[in-house]
Amino acid sequence: MFYRLSGTYHTSYEADRKLWKIPTDRWLVVAVLLLALLAPLYVSPLYLGSYVLPWVIWSAAALSLTLLMGLAGQLHFGFAAVMAIGAYASIHLVRFGVPFELALLLSGLIAAVIGAVFGGAALRVKGLYLVMATLAMQYLVDWVVVNVPAISGGAHATLRTPAVSFLFMPVESLAARYWLALGWAVLLTVFFMNVKRTSFGRALVAIRDKDFAAAVIGVDPFKTKLMAFFTSSFMGGVTGAILAFCFYRAVTPEQFGFNVSIQLVAMVLVGGLGSVIGSWLGAGFVLLAPIFLTNLVSGLAAAGWVPVSQNFLSHLPLMIYGAMIIGFLLLEPLGLAKIYDNIRKYFLVWPFRHARS
């Protein structure tokens, strides 16, 4: 009823290859995009600057990572380091006089090259061993940033982003910073949805499912794995630069620590591996749930409902948050994306029960 059809039936190859096979889905996406574009007009600066903006940027980061982990099946536990390379590269390039637009691309390239070098480990090792190799990347990059003052920015290791403009739009006001970040996230989203339909995307999936089987059918694992690391690191690097210029505006090494890498992995897993909507939902959940819970618990405490010490009060949101993650994963191991899909399928044929997708 809501989707105005009783299942998906295609009568031509074109219809089957469409991005949105059901018109309602397309209209839904257009509506969400419009709402997102107009957000600066109706969302208060508090919510735009501290909720929506970081959510958009972290979604872009989760999309970058899920290309590698979800599509290509290569685990990466040092993705924050990739973003750090992008962030520091972009700042130093802009300071050096490179125009911001070009600096974004170059920082992505630098992150991609370094990321692909570490990705080289993936040619020999898989699974947990690859986790260790990427962890090494995290710590190496951290160490270099902290120990080379020329990178980290001297005694206090804080680098402020210079004032820049993107295509004649000064990246200064909250709305401008939000639009730039949104533009990048939308670009990544569109790219990700389409990459699944290209031969490159199919090669990634083949590698994920069994790399020697992929080699047998003619997919070069060497090239494909390196390309996966390269592409994903490029996206991550630019996202890191966007994070620096649009959100933090002052970069410190702690912003890209190991815990951020773990958060990114959590976003991808909680959202659903290799899923676009999952990256958005996962990033929103991991990033915003602790904030909402902290405010909720503090509000309840202020009203006298939770008579416990400050210390326990601060840990309470973490306990609820942990329970929520376990709950979601028990309920639906395929992540938030699958939960969304279940809801969608339910309404697809409502009031009837069964849908073929």
Partner 1 sequence: MTFLRKLALTTALVAGLSAPVAAEDIKFGLLQDFTAVYTFVTGQYNQGQQDYLALANAEGILGEGNSVTAIVRDTGNQPQRGIEAYNRAKEEGAVLFDFLSTPVSAAILDQAQADKNVVITPAHGRGDASDGTVFPYVFPMMPTYWAQAANLIEHMKNNGGLQGKKIAIVHIDSPFGREPGPILQALSEQEGFEFQAFPYASPGNEQSAAWSEVRRYRPDYVLIWGAGGGQAVSVKTAIQNGIRPEQIHSVIWLAETDAANVGPAMKGVKRFEATAAGTDHAIIQRIQEKVIDAGKGSGDQANVGTSYYNLGVATMAVAVEAARLGLEGGQPLTGDTLKAGFEKIAGYDAEGLMPAVTYTAEDHQGGGAGRVSEWDGEKWVPVSDWHAAYPDLIRQVIEKSAAEYKAGH
Name 219's Cβ contacts closer than 8 Å, sequence gap at least 6: 203, 206, 207
Q: What x/- string results for residues 223 through 252 when contact with partner 1 is judged by CB under 8 A?
A: ------------------------xxxx-x
Q: Which helix (H) or strand (E) holds 259?
A: helix 258-271
Taking CA atoms, 112 is separated from 186, 191, 354, in Å, by 20, 17, 45
User: What contacts 92, CB < 8 A, 6 or more positions away?
Assistant: 151
| Nearest to partner 1 of 10, 315 (CB atom) | 315
311 contacts: CB under 8 Å, gap ≥ 6: none
241: nearest Cα among 134, 114, 106: 106
> Closer to partner 1 at the Cβ: 6 or 158?
158
| Pairing of the two strands 169-170 and 250-251 | unpaired
Query: 147 to 176, contacts with partner 1 by CB under 8 A?
Result: 147, 152-160, 162
Exposed/middle/buried for residue 49 (C-beta within 10 Å: 0-12, 13-18, 19+): middle
Site for partner 1 in 289-328 (CB under 8 A): 290-291, 294-295, 298, 309-311, 314-315, 317-318
Stretch that binds partner 1, among 15-23, 81-89, 124-132, 143-151 (CB under 8 A): 143-151
Upper half-sphere CA count for residue 131 (Cβ side, 13 Å): 6
Report the nearest approach of partner 1 to the CB of residue 151 (Å).
12
DSSP 71: I
User: By CB under 8 A, what part of segment 34-63 binds partner 1?
Assistant: 45-46, 49-51, 54
Nearer to partner 1, 119 or 153 (CB): 153
By CB under 8 A, the residues from 266 to 295 that bind partner 1 are 287, 290-291, 294-295
Nearer to partner 1, 33 or 319 (CB): 319
- Binding interface with partner 1 (CB under 8 A): 45-46, 49-51, 54, 95, 143, 146-147, 152-160, 162, 247-250, 252-255, 259, 287, 290-291, 294-295, 298, 309-311, 314-315, 317-318
